[in-house]
Amino acid sequence: EPEVTQTPSHQVTQMGQEVILRCVPISNHLYFYWYRQILGQKVEFLVSFYNNEISEKSEIFDDQFSVERPDGSNFTLKIRSTKLEDSAMYFCASNGQGSYEQYFGPGTRLTVT
């Protein structure tokens, strides 16, 4: 069964450093998303991406964040200068054309020290 994959599973970084989180969505999917979940809190939407551009973003997704689809398979989330409060699980998700159902990757646990 096709699935969304994410790397790394755990990333530790120092405050102020840049991090890139990587995702490989399900191959025939066209819509891609990033969500985050701070420990003990609900899953929050960050950004959606379709047709090589951002289609929607939340208030959380400020100038420190960017997304890119550098090739036909990868979808990345970059945080330019990490803050302590960026520590969270980051989930990538995707869905196909005409489908409402989003499938999530296993997540990257980001720890900012």
Binding site for other proteins (CB under 8 A): 31, 33, 35, 41-45, 48, 50, 55-56, 58, 89, 91, 93, 95, 98-107, 109
Beta strands 108-112 and 88-95 are antiparallel
Per-residue tokens: 7: 């790397």
Q: How far is the CB of 106 from other proteins (least distance, A)?
A: 5
- 25, 5 contact by CB (below 8 A): no
- CA 53, CA 107: separation in Å to the nearest integer? 22
To which residue do tokens 């551009």 refer?
A: 53
Of residues 33 and 82, the one with the C-beta less far from other proteins: 33
Residue among 25 and 105 whose Cβ is closer to other proteins: 105
User: Of 33 and 65, which CB lies nearer to other proteins in the complex structure?
Assistant: 33
* Rg, C-alpha atoms of the chain: 13
Q: How far is the CB of 16 from other proteins (least distance, A)?
A: 26
Cβ 68 to other proteins, closest distance in Å?
Answer: 19
